[in-house]
Structure 1
Amino acid sequence: MKVLLIEDDDETAEFIERGLREQGDMIDRAATGRDGMFLAGDGDYDVLIVDRLLPGMDGLNVVRLLREAEVTTPVLFLSALSGLDDRISGLDAGGDDYLVKPFAFAELRARLRALVRRPPMAATSNLLQVADLTLDRLARRVERAGQRIELQPREFRLLEYLMEHQGEVVTRTMLLEHVWEYHFEPKTSVVETHMSRLRTKIDKPFEAELIKTVRGSGYVLTAPD
């Protein structure tokens, strides 16, 4: 990946830069919003990491201006601001994901990979397919091996998210944020309950298992070997 980091805190920037370079990624850094905006407009980056609170021009305005200039590079906001309104304002400004400080580097990179692999909006297909499982976004129809599968709305969105990230491990936090739009950690087993119901419908009647649990990490939907 080629990454642009717009972050004014030297300690945070060094942590991210070191981690990404160790993974073989290329990374440039800007310490102010204005410098970051110019680099993002001129450079060919796969993804942007943007701090919310920047000197001179804050991260929200940086991303708004980039979107107005039709720069469509995926944006991951970083911020110590963890409130629901803060997250919503980041996404409304044109961000694609939002990660609260402090964070684990493994989750940061997982989110970056998910953003880089996500197809541009204009190229997003209405039909998702993994092996013999298909999901039609417009018709709200799911089939496996030609057999219709009836899903509840939340189950449909859960499956859609897994299929959008096929082959990638998605964490419980990612599912809570993107399927339930929870920006906090609820003390319930809502993810596990819905995942169990989904697997009963998607996998149990069929020979091959598509949805797998990655112990200690999350879930992955992938075609059988």
Structure 2
Amino acid sequence: MKLLVVEDNKPLLESIKGILEKEYSVDTADNGEDGLFFAQQNIYDLIVLDVMLPYMNGFEIVQILRKEKVNTPVLFLTAKDSLEDRVKGLEFGGDDYLVKPFQAPELEARIKALLRRSGALDIDAGLKYDEILLTGKENDVLVKGVPIKLTVKQYELLEYLIQNTGKILTKEQIFDRIWGFDSDTTIAIVEVFIHQLRKKLEDFAYHKDIQTVRGVGYILKKA
């Protein structure tokens, strides 16, 4: 799973990243403009968003995202402890609110709760598409009860497709989600990994469900 953290206090930003990257892939931004740009790519499972940011505050960012139909869950971070600010954040489209200073276990618990609520994380059932089950344990995948071996990137690609079943994902979205904005490789790698994943699923007849949307990207749905 991939998270975005937007926080202008750089020591705190690095601290949060260190806490979260033990379990998630984490991108960071230290100002509102960069945070909005990253968030608009719609490639994240959750956004941890500071309220007071340079150039554009967190409330403005989430308002823009919701208008653009980017419904990624947002956990606001703020030093403000007033009821008015908490209500404002939720009314603008935020999903939860964490007041600074906070402890790492509380941050982790809030994030897990939001991921479960959004359906991105189901610790008990795993992530499922028909008879494909991603257990979340060391990249284990069961297809019709049979374990198959995937590389880390193949697993992340399958996870992203399943999380967005029935939705068209552009090549750019897939590339940014799996390889990241700073990757040294090119977007052509997406086609290579789609081909590899289809081959891994071919014996179970699921390769046809990863459908090409010509000139755009891919969609996972019943063929």
TM-score, normalized by length of structure 1?
Answer: 0.51
1:106-121 matched pairs, under 5 angstroms:
106-119=105-118
State the 1:56 CA deviation.
0.4
1:66-215 matched pairs, under 5 angstroms:
66-119=65-118
Using the aligned pairs only, state the percent identity: 47
State the 1:119 CA deviation.
3.5
State whether residues 42 and 70 of structure 2, in contact with CA within 8 Å, keep that contact through their aligned partners in structure 1: no
Aligned to 1:12: 12
State the 1:74 CA deviation.
0.2
Q: How many residues align?
A: 119
State whether residues 73 and 118 of structure 2, in contact with CA within 8 Å, keep that contact through their aligned partners in structure 1: no
Counterpart secondary structure, 1:49: strand
> Within the alignment, does 1:64 sit opposite 2:63 as a pair?
yes
C-alpha distance in 2 between matches for 1:10 and 1:43 = 24
C-alpha distance in 2 between matches for 1:21 and 1:56 = 27
Counterpart secondary structure, 2:43: coil
Aligned to 1:26: 25
State the 1:75 CA deviation.
0.2
State the 1:43 CA deviation.
4.3
Counterpart secondary structure, 1:4: strand
Q: Runs ≥4 in structure 1, deviation > 6 angstroms? A: none
For structure 2, which runs of at least 5 residues remain unmatched after alignment?
Answer: 120-223
Superposed CA deviations along residues 70-99 of structure 1, whole A, max 9, x for unmatched, are 000000000000100010111111100000
Counterpart secondary structure, 1:77: strand
State whether residues 49 and 76 of structure 2, in contact with CA within 8 Å, keep that contact through their aligned partners in structure 1: yes
TM-score, normalized by length of structure 2?
Answer: 0.52
C-alpha distance in 2 between matches for 1:63 and 1:99 = 16
Q: Aligned letter for 2:50?
A: D
